[in-house]
Amino acid sequence: MAPDDGPDLDDLLPLTRTVFHILVALAGGPRHGYAVAQEVEELSDGRVVLGPGTLYGSLSRMQEAGLIEETENPGEEGLHAERRRYYRMTALGSAALGSESERLMRTANLARSRLEA
């Protein structure tokens, strides 16, 4: 039994590329939706460009899964800042990101050691 009675971490792994990128973006602190999309595009070298529907579809699902939650505006100003919805990563999200990174790292290390051998 998971300690917080939430969804089982193993059910969520491996993360899809988009979910992974979104979590990485939110690991840097709370963001509003469009800022998440921009950061994901940057992180993926421009390969993942999230349209409005995909962005909020993913955020909505991740919220249902307990990976992220809505939060207050952390004090940002700027265009329509008061109207935007902000998100931050939950403990579960952080754990999922940690395990996924671990898994990717192991795979990457294995790949590198085999290539070097």
Closer Cβ to another protein, 84 or 88, answer by number: 84
Q: Is 75 in the site for another protein (CB under 8 A)?
A: no
Region 4-63 residues binding another protein, contact defined as CB under 8 A? 16, 18-19, 33-34, 37, 49-58, 60-61
Shortest reach from residue 74's CB to another protein, in Å: 17
**Cα three-residue angle 77-36-11, rounded to 5 degrees:** 135
Specify the amino acid at residue 42: E
Q: Which two tokens stand for residue 88?
A: 């931050």
Specify the amino acid at residue 83: R
Q: Is 85 in the site for another protein (CB under 8 A)?
A: yes
